[in-house]
Amino acid sequence: MQALVADLVTPIVAAIFGEPSFDDLSFTINGSEFLYGDFLNALLAFLSIAAAIYFFVVVPYERLQAMQGVTPGTKSCEHCLSTIPVGANRCAFCTSEVQTTV
């Protein structure tokens, strides 16, 4: 993933902002040098990994769950077939007692 950021994302951002590499970006206050370019590279790597996990793991899993009709944290009432929370002891719609599944 580091190669993705270094070889693809950084040059695209550099084309927009005009800097070929973020590693050399820094500023100095009272003799202390702050290397914020390295932080930007790490931030881009983190965001790239997070986006990849979201779009290649979370989104397909949620679509699979939706196709199967499963909604996390809910169940159907045995009496009126309404959708209620998993921990409910009584249906909010028909007020029948239901089994608690944890």
Task: Tell me the domain boundaries of the chain.
Answer: 2-70, 71-102
pLDDT of residue 30: 92
Burial of 101 (0-12, 13-18, 19+ CB in 10 A): exposed
Query: Which position has the token pair 């007020």?
Result: 95
Task: State the alpha helices, DSSP H only, in 33-87.
Answer: 36-53, 59-68
Tens-binned pLDDT, residue by residue, of the chain (102 aa)? 667 767 777 777 778 777 666 778 889 999 999 988 888 878 877 888 888 889 999 999 888 877 877 667 888 888 898 888 888 889 989 999 988 765
Q: Is 96 helix (H, G, I), strand (E, B) or coil?
A: coil
Predicted confidence at residue 70, as pLDDT, reads: 63
- pTM for this entry: 0.53
Name the DSSP class of 26.
Answer: -
How far apart CA 29 and CA 9 sit, in angstroms, is 29
User: What pLDDT does residue 2 have?
Assistant: 67
The pLDDT value recorded for residue 55 is 92
Q: Determine the Cα–Cα distance for residues 97 and 16; give it in Å rounded to an integer.
A: 61
pLDDT at 56: 92
Phi first, then psi, for residue 45 (nearest 5°) are -65, -45
Per-residue CA distances from 18 to 13, 14, 25 (Å): 8, 5, 12
